[in-house]
């Protein structure tokens, strides 16, 4: 290994360590913009240095053409592109080639987008990167950079069509998905793939509801992230379904994307002494126990609680929707059954009460069949003896 390779390797290593500890934040993470040919659009990106030291960031821009089905975008430099049909980076002007942020400083970076009058209509995809190394100094990987995504729609004849190509249920074994339908513990993994076959990106929204054998919907089964249109996290709320793609990810044209949702239990929040709320999860045993407890708040003196192993068939219903041509909603519905095993509590007669009743009935039986007849015979004999004497 020559000196240049050694220096490059050390530089990349230092960059990676630097990014981990730099405490940088960017807002927003994504823009979606509608434009006409010849338009000029201006946006602002906020970059914040939350660390105790000043930092210098270099900016660069690249197109991206698609995500793989796991959600990783493919970035392409303009010089490497064979087709500029969806190119965007050539339209972009950045206010600064590099910026230096003091500690705890927030800087606004102005971005100007000049749409050519004769440019190809449709959606165009672009990213602006912030990195500690000057462009061309080293090949910095995607993981080692921070980026903002821009998706710009130049007026055109929109063609929208997508398909739900996979819906599987299973578990993770050594971080790999394994399909199955019989579970005795969490997590339960829902593996879904959506295919976009036309020329505009699609943002599918869907949810999975769970119903039991009595067609009762399971309650408080998961949490949903509330995300702004610019990908800013707002808060989480408790819901009666499992959300899929609540982060509002897009599926780019002529590509497929896989979405994976984990059901880790029945979600609830526990209030802590410091006033904060801690997210916790109930398993199936606790869920059904609490459900029964809510229906019967106390036990009678002759009742007791027992347990038994139960299997239930649950139905997972996937409802998917996306905005189709002419702003209409295109809906999909698909169901799958899963079997879950858990320990169920039920109310039964107290064993001591059974013993008391057995003893009481035995005493009544003995009195009726043994003691009472003997008493009658004895009384009869006494009466006959009195009659003889008289």
CB 259 within 8 A of CB 227: no
Give domain 3-154's CATH superfamily.
Immunoglobulins (2.60.40.10)
Of 201, 187, 281, 205, whose CA–CA distance to 244 is shortest? 205
pLDDT attached to residue 1:
40
**Tens digit of pLDDT per residue, the chain (390 long)?**
443 333 333 333 333 333 434 578 888 888 888 888 888 989 999 988 888 888 888 888 887 765 556 656 667 665 544 445 445 566 788 877 788 889 889 999 898 988 887 776 677 778 888 887 655 544 444 435 788 888 887 776 666 677 888 999 999 888 889 999 999 888 999 999 988 877 677 888 889 999 998 888 988 888 888 777 666 667 778 889 999 888 777 887 778 888 888 898 887 777 778 877 777 788 877 777 666 555 556 667 677 777 788 888 999 999 988 776 666 777 888 999 999 988 877 777 777 777 777 888 888 888 788 777 777 777 777 777 777 776
Q: In angstroms, how far is CA 20 from the centroid of its own chain?
A: 25
pLDDT attached to residue 179:
93
CB 318 within 8 A of CB 193: no
pTM: 0.57
CB 161 within 8 A of CB 197: yes
For residues 91 and 125, give the distance between their C-alpha atoms in angstroms, rounded to a whole number: 11
What is the sign of the dihedral through the CA atoms of 53, 94, 141 and 204? positive
Beta-carbon contacts of 175 under 8 Å, excluding residues fewer than 6 positions away, are none
For residues 187 and 60, give the distance between their C-alpha atoms in angstroms, rounded to a whole number: 41
Q: Provide the edge-to-edge strand list for the sheet that holds 182-183.
A: 182-183, 329-349, 303-323, 205-211, 242-244
pLDDT attached to residue 134:
56
Same fold, 3-154 and 163-284+306-346: yes
CB 321 within 8 A of CB 329: yes
CA angle 60, 65, 67 (to 5 degrees): 105
For residues 61 and 63, give the distance between their C-alpha atoms in angstroms, rounded to a whole number: 7
Q: In angstroms, how far is CA 341 from the centroid of its own chain?
A: 23
In the numeric block, the tokens 């500029």 are attached to 84
For residues 134 and 136, give the distance between their C-alpha atoms in angstroms, rounded to a whole number: 6
For residues 26 and 84, give the distance between their C-alpha atoms in angstroms, rounded to a whole number: 28
pLDDT attached to residue 144:
54
For residues 180 and 172, give the distance between their C-alpha atoms in angstroms, rounded to a whole number: 10
Fold observed for domain 163-284+306-346: Immunoglobulin-like (2.60.40)
Secondary structure class of 96 (helix, strand, coil): coil
Q: How many CB atoms lie within 10 A of CB 111?
A: 20
DSSP state for residue 289 in the 8-state scheme: H
Structural domain boundaries in the chain: 3-154, 163-284+306-346
CA angle 256, 189, 163 (to 5 degrees): 25
Q: Indicate the pairing of strand 40-49 with strand 303-323.
A: unpaired
In the numeric block, the tokens 């929208």 are attached to 160
Of 125, 164, 146, whose CA–CA distance to 259 is shortest? 164
For residues 213 and 194, give the distance between their C-alpha atoms in angstroms, rounded to a whole number: 29
């Amino acid at each position: 290994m020559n000196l240049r390779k050694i220096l490059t390797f050390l530089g990349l290593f230092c960059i990676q360590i630097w990014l981990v500890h730099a405490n940088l934040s960017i807002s927003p993470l994504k823009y979606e913009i509608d434009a006409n040919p010849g338009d000029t659009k201006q946006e602002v990106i906020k970059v914040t240095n939350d660390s105790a030291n000043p930092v210098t960031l270099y900016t660069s821009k690249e197109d991206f053409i698609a995500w793989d089905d796991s959600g990783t975008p493919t970035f392409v430099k303009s010089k490497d592109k064979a087709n500029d049909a969806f190119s965007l980076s050539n339209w972009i002007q950045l206010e600064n080639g590099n910026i230096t942020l003091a500690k705890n400083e927030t800087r606004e970076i102005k971005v100007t987008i000049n749409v050519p009058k004769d440019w190809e209509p449709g959606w165009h995809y672009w990213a602006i990167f912030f990195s500690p190394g000057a462009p061309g100094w080293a090949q910095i990987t995607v993981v080692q950079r921070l980026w903002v995504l821009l998706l710009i729609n130049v007026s055109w004849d929109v063609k929208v069509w997508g398909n739900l190509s996979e819906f599987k249920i299973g578990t993770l074994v050594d971080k790999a998905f394994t399909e199955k339908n019989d579970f005795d513990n969490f997590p339960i993994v829902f593996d879904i793939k959506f295919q976009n076959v036309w020329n505009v990106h699609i943002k599918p929204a869907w949810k999975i509801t769970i119903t039991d054998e009595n067609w009762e919907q399971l309650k408080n089964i998961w949490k949903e992230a509330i995300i702004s249109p610019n990908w800013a996290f707002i808060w989480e709320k408790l819901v009666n379904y499992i959300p899929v793609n609540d982060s509002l990810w897009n599926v780019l044209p002529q590509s497929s994307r896989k979405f994976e949702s984990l059901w880790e239990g029945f979600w609830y929040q526990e209030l802590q002494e410091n006033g904060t709320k801690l997210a916790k999860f109930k398993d199936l045993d606790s869920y059904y126990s609490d459900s029964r407890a809510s229906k019967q708040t106390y036990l009678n003196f002759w009742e007791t609680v027992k347990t038994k192993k139960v299997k239930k068939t649950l139905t997972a219903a996937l409802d998917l929707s996306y905005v189709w041509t002419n702003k209409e909603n295109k809906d999909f519905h698909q169901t799958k059954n899963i079997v879950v095993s858990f320990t169920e509590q039920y109310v039964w007669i107290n064993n001591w009460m059974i013993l008391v009743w057995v003893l009481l009935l035995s005493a009544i039986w003995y009195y009726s069949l043994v003691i009472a007849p003997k008493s009658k015979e004895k009384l009869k004999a006494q009466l006959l003896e009195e009659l003889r004497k008289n």
